[in-house]
Structure formats: structure tokens, C-alpha cells
């Protein structure tokens, strides 16, 4: 098939491009390189089945494709809050443009939604039927509300125009190819630990997250695209850890001399998060294979090999 991956030069998008090329598809990787990098896909450049296009999904584009994976959107709070108006335009106008394209060329389209649409959840673990607890005017809203309106657009294009959609709600995912300055917790802690710098725990570290390894995540979204349930379906690892536990694990696995320091908790930071993955198990016959410790070891090995000074952007 001819497959479009928006945000294909990002952390998850580049792993997805790898798998699709391995499966024998023709892949168009579209990215504006805001948080992604050519470095993530440089090993694919030159393959006849791979094309890299610099494009911003807030602008329309016409391509003949059979499948669209819509991943373009900065995902780390630091980066999505850098230009919040652009972030919400990426989710909103990007969804309109990609759904319009899917409608026109009759492609199936998958949206990379997020656990953030549940906000600071009052239902735990989060089930897909939960409508969430999102602050519409806070500093995370540009991302949370953008992703929520994108889900609305996907459902309405489906109901109104019969566009063939899939929606996955991705919970915190980590792994090789995260940028050293990504700003999310796993990469921050590993980069700090490897340099014996202070580990920055925001708040008292009692907030929880569930961490999914990139290879597990990509397997789930590939399965989601090629089965009939439209979703939304939660994808994540149901192991739940406090941020303090994560810091201690990273220090142990890197044999670091780093000390944990406490920094202010950003506003609207969700207190707890853990996916109910019953639907993913039922419809995708999927569950994560890589536990946190194994995934951290692989991610630490990746960060040991890259030079922070010469890392792209
Ligand atoms: P990432 O920042 O590495 O990747 C996002 C990619 O989108 C980057 O390559 C970036 O340059 C590109 N991009 C951003 N705005 C664009 C625009 N307007 N036009 C074209 N390209 C644009 O982040 P990631 O972790 O790989 O996330 C990929 C997708 O998965 C995002 O949509 C994100 O919201 C979603 N997601 C990720 C996680 C996670 O934990 N990794 C969790 C929930 C949802
Ligand atoms: N966090 C932290 N130190 C950091 C980066 C993040 O304590 O250096 C915390 C953050 O406050 C949040 C959790 O780790 O409670 C996960 O943050 P991340 O930005 O990775 O993802 P999200 O908040 O979007 O789940």
C-alpha cells in the first residue's frame, strides 16, 4: 500500500515508518521538523519505497495514498506550550486537512490521540467511556482540547461523510529516538542520570504514569489500522509507577551519582494515569511485551551512544 505518516520524522513516527517499510509498503513521511528530525529517518533515505516531504499539516496537501497515520503534533509539554496557538492549529487544521484528504482519495485514516483527553482523571484506571476532566483554559489546553476536537472531527467525518477512521488514545510512551531535549520525564531523567546531574522531580513525585515502550506501541497502532473496530481504543502499558519510583529506577539502572531534587509542579499536571487496555486486548489481540525495566535499559543504551552536543536541534 501507499501510506502517509504525518509526523513521520518524530520519535514514534520514525519507528512506525521503519515497520511499514519492513512490511513492504511505500511510505511518504511528512514532517515540518518542529520536534522531529531528518536524523530519525536518515537510514531510510535512498530506499525506493521511502519519500520524505517537508510540509506543515496546517496547510492542505494532495497525495494519492491508501492509509494515513496522523501523528503530526508536538507531544512534550515543553514543546507544545512553546507556541500554543500553533499546537492547537496543528491538531485542528491538521485534522481537517488530513480528513479532507482521506475523504477525497478514500484512504483509511488513523488519529494518534492521547490519554491527555482524559485531563486530570477522576476515573482510574481510564476507560474509553470516561469523558475526562480537562481544564479548557489552562496551559495544557492547547494540546488536550486540540486532541479532543480532532477526535470530534474524526467521528463527524465518519458519521457525515463515511470516512474510514481509526482512533487510538496513546498513553505515555518512551524509547530510543526521543530527543535529549524532548522534555518528557523518561528522557529527562535518563539524560540527567547519565551526566550525574540532578534529577528534576516536579512536585512531590507522588503523581503516577504508566510507561509503554515504543515497539509495543507501534505494534498496537499497526494492528489498529488493519482491523475493523474504529475506536477510540486506549494503547499503553498498565504498569503504574510514581514519578519518584521512576527516578529511583533510572538512578539504579545507570549506576548514577545523581541526586533527586524537587521542582515546582506545573499547573494541571495529572495526578494519576493508567490505561484500561481491555479493548486493545479484545479487538487487537494485543498487550505490551516490554516491562519498564527492560524498556529503560534499551533507552539508556540509546542515550549512552548519542552525543548531546551534536544531537539534532
Ligand atoms: P514527536 O514530537 O517526536 O513527534 C511529532 C512529530 O510531528 C515531529 O516530527 C514534529 O516535527 C511533527 N510535527 C509537529 N507539528 C507539525 C505540523 N504542523 N506539520 C507537520 N509535522 C508536524 O512526538 P511523538 O511522541 O513521536 O508523538 C507522535 C504523536 O503521538 C503525536 O501526535 C502525539 O500527540 C501522540 N502521542 C504521543 C505520546 C507519547 O507518549 N509519545 C502519547 C500520546 C500521544
Ligand atoms: N516530570 C518530572 N520531571 C521532569 C519531567 C516531567 O517530574 O523532568 C513529571 C511531570 O510533572 C509529570 C510526569 O513527570 O507529572 C510526566 O511528564 P511528561 O512531561 O513526561 O508527560 P505528561 O505530563 O504529558 O504525562
Mind spelling out the 3-state secondary structure of 222-251? HHHHCCCCCCCEEECCCCCEEHHHHHHHHH
Catalytic option among 69, 80, 118, 143 = 143
Residue 228 has pLDDT above 50, yes or no: yes
Report pLDDT digits (tens) over 32-41.
Answer: 999 999 999 9
Percent residues over pLDDT 70 in the chain: 98
118 among known catalytic residues? no
Q: Residues 6 or more apart from 203 whose CB is under 8 A from it?
A: 243, 262, 264, 265, 269
Average pLDDT of the residues in 251-273: 97
Q: What is the pTM of this model?
A: 0.97
Residue 309 has pLDDT above 70, yes or no: no
Query: If DSSP codes are grouped into helix, strand and coil, which group holds residue 87?
Result: helix
Q: Which residues of 107-131 are buried (b: 16+ CB within 10 A; e: fewer)?
A: bbbbbbbbbbbbbbbeeebbebebe
The ligand 1 atom nearest the CA atom of 33: 11
**Domains within the chain, CATH numbers bracketed:** 2-173+211-235 (3.40.50.720), 176-209+239-272+289-309 (3.90.25.10)
Residue 313 has pLDDT above 70, yes or no: no
Report pLDDT digits (tens) over 39-93.
Answer: 999 999 999 999 999 999 999 999 999 999 999 999 999 999 999 999 999 999 9
Phi/psi of residue 2, each to 5°?
Answer: -95, 120
Q: Whose CA is nearest to atom 6 of ligand 2?
A: 185
Helices (H), the chain: 11-22, 77-80, 84-105, 141-161, 185-194, 214-225, 243-254, 278-284, 292-305
Report pLDDT digits (tens) over 174-220.
Answer: 999 999 999 999 999 999 999 999 999 999 999 999 999 999 999 99
Q: How confident is the model at residue 27 (pLDDT cuts 50, 70, 90)?
A: very high
- State the cell numbers at 184: 518528557
Q: Residues 6 or more apart from 57 whose CB is under 8 A from it?
A: 6, 30, 32, 70, 72, 90, 93, 94, 97, 98
Residue 312 has pLDDT above 50, yes or no: no
Ligand 1 contact via 275 beta carbon (within 6 Å): no
Q: What is the pLDDT of residue 306?
A: 85
Distance (angstroms) between ligand 2 centre and the Cα of 79 equals 13
Peptide bond into 217 cis (omega under 30): no
Q: What is the pLDDT of residue 307?
A: 67
Q: What is the pLDDT of residue 308?
A: 64
Q: Which of 243, 263, 296 to mutate to test the pocket of ligand 2 (most atoms within 8 A of CB)?
A: 243
- State the cell numbers at 1: 500500500
User: How many angstroms separate the CA atoms of 301 and 48, rounded?
Assistant: 31
Average pLDDT of the residues in 144-166: 98
Q: What is the pLDDT of residue 213?
A: 98
User: How many angstroms separate the CA atoms of 313 and 238, rounded?
Assistant: 33
Amino acid at each position: 500500500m501507499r501510506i502517509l505518516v504525518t509526523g513521520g520524522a518524530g520519535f514514534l513516527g520514525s519507528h512506525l515508518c521503519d515497520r511499514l517499510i519492513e512490511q513492504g509498503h511505500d511510505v511518504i513521511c511528512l514532517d515540518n521538523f518542529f520536534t522531529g528530525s531528518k536524523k530519525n529517518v536518515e537510514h531510510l533515505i535512498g530506499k525506493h519505497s521511502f519519500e520524505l516531504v517537508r510540509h506543515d499539516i496546517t496547510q492542505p496537501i494532495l497525495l494519492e495514498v491508501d492509509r494515513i497515520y496522523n501523528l503530526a503534533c508536538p507531544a512534550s509539554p515543553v514543546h507544545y506550550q512553546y507556541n500554543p496557538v500553533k499546537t492547537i492549529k496543528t491538531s485542528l487544521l491538521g485534522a481537517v486537512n488530513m480528513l479532507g484528504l482521506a475523504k477525497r482519495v478514500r484512504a483509511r485514516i488513523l488519529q494518534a490521540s492521547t490519554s491527555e483527553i482524559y485531563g486530570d482523571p477522576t476515573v482510574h484506571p481510564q476507560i474509553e467511556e470516561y469523558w475526562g476532566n480537562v481544564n479548557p483554559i489552562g496551559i495544557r489546553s492547547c494540546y488536550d482540547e486540540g486532541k479532543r476536537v480532532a477526535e470530534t472531527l474524526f467521528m463527524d467525518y465518519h458519521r457525515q461523510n463515511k470516512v474510514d477512521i481509526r482512533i487510538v488514545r496513546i498513553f505515555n510512551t518512551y524509547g530510543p529516538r526521543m530527543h535529549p531535549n524532548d522534555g518528557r520525564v523518561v528522557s529527562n531523567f535518563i539524560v540527567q542520570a547519565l551526566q550525574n546531574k540532578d534529577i528534576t522531580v516536579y512536585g512531590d513525585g507522588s503523581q503516577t504514569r504508566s510507561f509503554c515502550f515504543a515497539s509495543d506501541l507501534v505494534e498496537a497502532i499497526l494492528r489498529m489500522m488493519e482491523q475493523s473496530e474504529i475506536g477510540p481504543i486506549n494503547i499503553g502499558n498498565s504498569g503504574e509507577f510514581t514519578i519518584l519510583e521512576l527516578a529511583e529506577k533510572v538512578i539504579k539502572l545507570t549506576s548514577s551519582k545523581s541526586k533527586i531534587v524537587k521542582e515546582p509542579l506545573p499547573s494541571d499536571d495529572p495526578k494519576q494515569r493508567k490505561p484500561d487496555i481491555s479493548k486493545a486486548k479484545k479487538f487487537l489481540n494485543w498487550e505490551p511485551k516490554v516491562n519498564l525495566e527492560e524498556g529503560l535499559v534499551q533507552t539508556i543504551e540509546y542515550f549512552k551512544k548519542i552525543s548531546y552536543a551534536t544531537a539534532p536541534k
